[in-house]
Amino acid sequence: MLSSLASRRGVFVAAFSVLALAACGKKEPAPAPASAPAATPAPVVKTYTVGTDAAYAPFEKMSPANEVEGLTVDLLKAVAAQGGFQVKFVNTPWEGIFKTLDSGERDIVASSVTITEERKQTMDFSKPYFDAVQLIAVKEDSKVGRFEDLKTLKVGVQTGTTGDEVVQKLLGKTSPNIKRFESTPLALQELAAGGVAAVVADNGVVQNYIANNPTAKFKSVSDASFVPEQYGFAVKKGNAEMLEKINKGLDAIKADGTHAALMAKYFGTKPAAAPAAQAATSVATPAK
């Protein structure tokens, strides 16, 4: 009987040992996986307010949906995409448009603004994005063949633009023969109605109007005295950060062909400009 008890005791001890070993060999629960690092938030894309006088087709005009559209809009949107920012266009009257930069109401003025030394004193400009020159619009049967022929005629201009300035030099600042309008299209409509004999304005606007209004039966006349001009985007004086973003975008869209494609979209071919040799003898004047 003792032998039997010993045997059973041995079995019990052996079983206990097996259980103890099993308990010792039991795997601990795997630690919970470390949480993934928080995702880096996407950089905030800043939106800049752009002032533009939307009465200067094909550069800036109002769409049927009452939104600013045109070559200038398409160009600056492409520039913004490359420069890492966004833009919101606000129709702004030409008179006083530059004051909105100083007041902070507008971050950029994109309104077919000619780069001039005088304007550089109070604002900064991007690199040029469009080459322009003045043209004379007259009716097809007009005898006008050069700028001097306008001396005794009534001439329409948009107030405060290059056309206004050059016509003042020819006719006199207070000449009653200068008829001023809020926009170039209004001046051209007056030409169609017979209220003026000619309109002096930027080449792109004149050519666009003639192409899109064939029933008006206008023609354009160039003159060696008109100085080649360049449009730029204007920012507040000293805003180097904004200027760098715009210029970066401009360089990019010129390099990838976007700039050329937009010019072809709106003009088909490059707008006519004064020959360089003729332009060299001219004197620069303020412009739109």
- pLDDT, tens only, 114-171: 998 989 999 999 999 999 999 999 999 999 999 999 999 999 999 988 789 999 999 9
CA distance 60 to 56: 5
Better-scored residue on pLDDT, 206 or 24? 206
Domains, the chain, ranges and CATH?
A: 47-131+229-279 (3.40.190.10), 134-221 (3.40.190.10)
Per-residue confidence band for 269, with pLDDT thresholds at 50, 70 and 90? low
Find, among 111, 70, 41, the residue nearest to 263 by Cα: 70
Distance from C-alpha of 159 to C-alpha of 90, rounded to nearest angstrom: 20
Distance CA 103, CA 164 (A): 27
Question: Residue 190, class by beta-carbon neighbours within 10 Å (0-12 exposed, 13-18 middle, 19+ buried)?
Answer: middle
Structure confidence at residue 281 as a pLDDT band (50, 70, 90): very low
pLDDT tens, 87-116? 999 999 988 999 999 999 999 999 999 998
**Integer angstrom CA distances of residue 280 from 76, 162, 183, 222, 274:** 30, 17, 29, 15, 10
Per the CB < 8 A criterion, the answer to whether 206 and 216 are in contact is: no
Q: Where residue 218 falls among pLDDT bands split at 50, 70, 90?
A: very high
Confidence of residue 37 (pLDDT cuts 50, 70, 90): low
DSSP E strand boundaries for 66-186: 68-69, 86-91, 108-109, 123-125, 130-132, 134-139, 155-158, 178-181
Q: State both tokens at 165.
A: 């300035």
Position 282 scores a pLDDT of 32
Q: What is the pTM of this model?
A: 0.74
How many CA atoms does the CB half-sphere of 113 hold within 13 Å? Answer: 27
Name the average pLDDT for the chain: 85
Cα separation, 216 vs 159, in Å, equals: 23
pLDDT at 160: 84
